[in-house]
């Protein structure tokens, strides 16, 4: 009896790991093939039956890639834009979230409903007006055009407000009695206490804007300002030769590998951040 039970347990465990491993195989296969084929020659990519590994590493693909797209610029642009947006989102969201959570003033609830209402407006709905607005402001094809329209999000305000509600009023009142200014209280007490929510929001905003495509696609003109997704997109061509495939794979690999490295280091924070925004406990 016990033995049978033991066998079922082992059987279930095997099934479980087999399932997990099968899934993991499919999750990793595209990445693996991307890296392998980025080192292949065009002939090897076209070879049938399939070749699993390149005979020799074709570093030429990466050289051709560096000549085809401005990799350095792309990384710098993506970093500048994404960091600026993330910092902007953290500041505006925490300020407004704190204001909504910890102050009483006429019209507060109506204004908060307004925040919630704008949360329901997806970006594509306002794409054309914002494009027009950015043009009127003279921000086309500039960092300002990429950054400014994104530095406030209703979701961020909502998230920070919900979190700030949990901060004890007594702590803030004590600081007031000590004569601290409202801004100082926000900066020295509320913000540090909101660390977990800030971290979660930072990660979400960073990942989202690092990968963002539609907005840069309409606002960016010059090669020098291309972000990583825009630069990669320019590798797509109609009339291709097979050489384009390994070039594209090399480009994708260079875009993906650093992100994977950062993710590997910060994995725990990513997971916690996303879990936090999903379920607030």
Q: Establish if 271 lies at the interface with another protein (CB under 8 A).
A: yes
Q: Does 118 bind another protein (CB under 8 A)?
A: yes
Q: How far is the CB of 233 from another protein (least distance, A)?
A: 6
Q: How far is the CB of 11 from another protein (least distance, A)?
A: 13
Interface mask toward another protein for 204-243; x: CB under 8 A: ---x--xx-xx---xx-xxx----xx--xxxxxxxxxxx-
Interaction between residue 114 and another protein (CB under 8 A) = yes
Closest distance to another protein from the beta carbon of 245 (Å): 5
Whichever of 9 and 57 has its CB closer to another protein, that residue is 9
Task: Select the residue interacting with another protein from 7, 10, 20, 171 (CB under 8 A).
Answer: 20
Nearer to another protein, 168 or 241 (CB): 241
Residue 14 neighbours by CB distance under 10 Å: 10
Q: Does 61 bind another protein (CB under 8 A)?
A: no
Angle 47-48-49 (CA atoms, 0-180°, nearest 5)? 125
Which residues, 6+ apart, have CB-to-CB distance to 141 below 8 Å? 219, 220, 221, 222, 225
Compare residues 17 and 57 and give the one whose CB is closer to another protein.
Answer: 17
Which one of residues 53, 55, 121, 171 is an interface residue with another protein (CB under 8 A)?
121
CA distance 195 to 82: 20
* Binders in 180-199 for another protein, by CB under 8 A: 182, 186-188, 191-192, 195, 198-199
175 binds another protein, rule: CB under 8 A: no
Q: Cβ of residue 56: shortest distance to another protein, in angstroms?
A: 19
CA separation for the pair 4, 107 (Å, rounded): 68
Residue 131 sits in the site that holds another protein (CB under 8 A): yes
Q: Which residues of 119-137 are buried (b: 16+ CB within 10 A; e: fewer)?
A: eeeeeeeeeeebbeebeee
For 226, the token pair is: 């291309």
150 is written with which tokens? 């994104």
- Measured distance CA(59)–CA(139) in Å, rounded: 39
Q: Per CB under 8 A, does 39 bind another protein?
A: no
Among 10, 14, 135, 171, binds another protein (CB under 8 A): 135
In the three-class reduction of DSSP (H, G, I as helix; E, B as strand; rest coil), residue 241 is classed as coil
Q: How many CB atoms lie within 10 A of CB 185?
A: 20
- Alpha-carbon distance values, 150 to 161, 207, 270 (Å): 19, 13, 21
Residues in region 94-113 near another protein by CB under 8 A: 95-96, 98-100, 102-106, 108-109, 111-113
CB of residue 174 to another protein, shortest distance in Å: 15
- Considering Cα of 256, then 257, then 262, then 265, what sign does the dihedral take? positive
């Amino acid at each position: 009896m016990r033995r049978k039970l033991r066998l079922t347990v082992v059987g279930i465990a095997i099934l479980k790991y087999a399932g997990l491993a099968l899934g993991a195989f499919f999750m990793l296969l595209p990445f693996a093939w991307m890296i392998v084929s980025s080192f292949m020659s065009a002939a090897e990519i076209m070879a049938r039956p399939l070749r699993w590994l390149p005979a020799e590493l074709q570093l030429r693909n990466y050289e051709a890639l560096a000549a085809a797209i401005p990799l350095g610029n792309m990384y710098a642009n993506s970093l500048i834009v994404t960091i600026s947006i993330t910092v902007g989102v953290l500041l505006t969201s925490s300020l407004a979230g704190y204001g909504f959570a910890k102050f009483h003033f006429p019209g507060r609830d109506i204004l908060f409903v307004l925040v919630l209402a704008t949360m329901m407006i997806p970006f594509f709905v306002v794409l054309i007006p914002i494009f027009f607005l950015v043009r009127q402001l003279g921000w086309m094809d500039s960092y300002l055009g990429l950054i400014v329209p994104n530095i406030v999000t209703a979701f961020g305000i909502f998230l920070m407000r919900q979190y700030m509600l949990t901060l004890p009023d007594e702590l803030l009142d004590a600081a007031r009695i000590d004569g601290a200014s409202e801004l100082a209280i926000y900066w020295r007490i509320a913000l540090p206490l909101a660390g977990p929510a800030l971290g979660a929001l930072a990660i979400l905003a960073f990942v989202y804007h690092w990968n963002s495509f539609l907005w840069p696609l309409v606002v960016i003109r010059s090669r020098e300002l291309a972000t990583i997704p825009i630069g990669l997109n320019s590798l797509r061509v109609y009339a291709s030769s097979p050489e384009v495939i390994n070039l594209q794979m090399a480009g994708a690999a260079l875009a993906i590998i650093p992100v994977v490295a950062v993710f590997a280091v910060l994995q725990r924070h990513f997971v916690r951040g996303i879990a936090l925004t999903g379920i607030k406990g």
